[in-house]
Chains A and B, each alone.
Chain A
Amino acid sequence: MANIIIPTPLRKFTNNLPTLESDGETVIEVISDLSGAFPELKPHLFDDQCDIRKFIRIFVGDEDIKALDNEATPVDENSVVSIVPAIAGGAR
């Protein structure tokens, strides 16, 4: 199971849990899994076209998924998936 780190602004929708686990095998599966478990998260994670919002940075370990395989980036039980707010275009 991959571990997901929830950013502070979204913890309101995860019963204040800072980390969660997912069976997903790719980033998109993990994020979809998350919004399925906590439906109030969905509008904050996905846009109207059901794409992950552009102003969210997602990392697997220390790598931005943009440098990997984007939403199709594979994850496993050792992966830590981080959802990070974008600040002024900053990434890390």
Chain B
Amino acid sequence: MLAKTQPDDIALQLQRLEPLIGHTPVYPITRAYDTGNVQILAKLEWMQLGGSVKARPAFNIVKQAMNNGSLDGRRRILDASSGNTAIAYASIGAALGIGVSVCLPENASEERKILLRSLGAEIIPSSRFGTTDEAQELAATLHAKYPERYFYADQYGNAANWQAHYHTTAVEIFDRTGLALTHFVAGLGTTGTFVGTGRRLKELNPEIRLVALQPDTALHGLEGWKHLETARVPGIFDATLADHTDFIDSAEAYRVMRRVAEREGLLISPSAAANLAGAVRLAETLEEGVIVTVFPDNADKYGEVLEAVFS
């Protein structure tokens, strides 16, 4: 018989999970691309709970909500997600004995849905025409209708998202590179990684240049990324932060996936490959420097993409 989870148990279990969040390795990209005197370092963010960078914001959102009382033993965690944050919530929720409900566009891949169901999450489908923008509207509507049932985590508007990266990702990067770091490159989705990491790195060294990446078209193959011209701009986005914005073609990212698999032995996701494409493009404009980017997840959840890239 399953024991009913008590608030004290939840707090203890949260402490037990904390070592599984962050502390990811930094891997130098040396064989896939020759970038001369410019070093490219990739933070392998899939090496944490739930298998993606989203462990950081999801954990911080849940932790802050528990600390301020907005998430108690009665409410379920509710949010919109295209997949990775949902999986992170589901992992954390399962470990804490807290229910998780996710508004997910109905055209998300079966792999994602199977993972979420396996972790006990409830999937609330949103329109296949509406991306995560409409999933957000659905989550907000559900929360407004049933405030006693749900804690609306709101990863797109919750400061705990970017603060997770401010307090962990940026510090880990700077501990590794110190003042040698010249550039940080990251794609924009919820924008939490770019805003939180970039903001802290700029504070640590104002000379660091921040390069934001976006997909080059409204309909693209870069999971989790947003084409801000045609998407709902996340509430946590800070448009003043980037020194430069570049745009990545999904087909280019797929080519990078293949090259990194063949020459580095890493099967990375489309968004990780797009980050590397942006970093390589930047490296070509520099004589020397140290560029850090993030690989948000690996290719484990992208069976259909792998089939398309490697067939």
Closest CB in chain A relative to B133 CB, distance in Å: 6
Residues B218 and A9 in contact, CB atoms below 8 Å apart: yes
Which residues of chain A are near B310, meaning CB under 8 Å? none
Residues B227 and A9 in contact, CB atoms below 8 Å apart: yes
**Interface of B, helix, strand, loop or mixed by DSSP:** loop
* B158-208 CB contacts (< 8 Å) to partner A: none
Closest CB in chain A relative to B225 CB, distance in Å: 11
Closest CB in chain A relative to B217 CB, distance in Å: 5
Residues B107 and A85 in contact, CB atoms below 8 Å apart: yes
Contact with B along A1-39 (1 / 0, CB 8 A): 000011111101000001000000000000000000000
Residues A8 and B112 in contact, CB atoms below 8 Å apart: no
Residues A56 and B305 in contact, CB atoms below 8 Å apart: no
Residues A92 and B106 in contact, CB atoms below 8 Å apart: yes
* Distance, CA A49 to CA B220, complexed state (A): 17
Closest CB in chain A relative to B43 CB, distance in Å: 21
Which residues of chain A are near B302, meaning CB under 8 Å? 88-89
Residues A85 and B305 in contact, CB atoms below 8 Å apart: no
Residues B130 and A55 in contact, CB atoms below 8 Å apart: no
Q: Is B303 an interface residue (CB 8 A)?
A: yes
* Distance, CA A72 to CA B110, complexed state (A): 28
Residues A9 and B231 in contact, CB atoms below 8 Å apart: yes
* Distance, CA A64 to CA B131, complexed state (A): 18
* Distance, CA A91 to CA B303, complexed state (A): 13
* A71-92 CB contacts (< 8 Å) to partner B: 82-92
Which residue of A18, A44, A84, A87 is within 8 Å of B218 (Cβ)?
A: A44
Closest CB in chain A relative to B131 CB, distance in Å: 6
Which residue of A5, A6, A92 is within 8 Å of B107 (Cβ)?
A: A92
Residues B109 and A44 in contact, CB atoms below 8 Å apart: no
Which residues of chain B are near A43, meaning CB under 8 Å? 217
Complex A-B: 21 CB contacts under 8 Å: A7-B129, A9-B131, A9-B219, A12-B229, A43-B217, A44-B219, A53-B217, A54-B250, A56-B219, A82-B128, A85-B105, A85-B129, A86-B107, A86-B220, A87-B82, A88-B83, A88-B109, A88-B111, A89-B303, A89-B305, A92-B106
A residues sitting closer than 8 Å to B (CB atoms) are 5-10, 12, 18, 43-44, 47, 53-57, 82-92
B residues sitting closer than 8 Å to A (CB atoms) are 82-83, 105-112, 127-131, 133-134, 217-221, 223, 227, 229-231, 250-251, 301-305, 308
Beyond the given A85-B131, A87-B223, could you list 9 further A-B residue pairs with CB under 8 A, ordered by the A residue number?
A6-B129, A9-B131, A9-B231, A12-B230, A47-B251, A53-B217, A53-B219, A85-B105, A85-B129
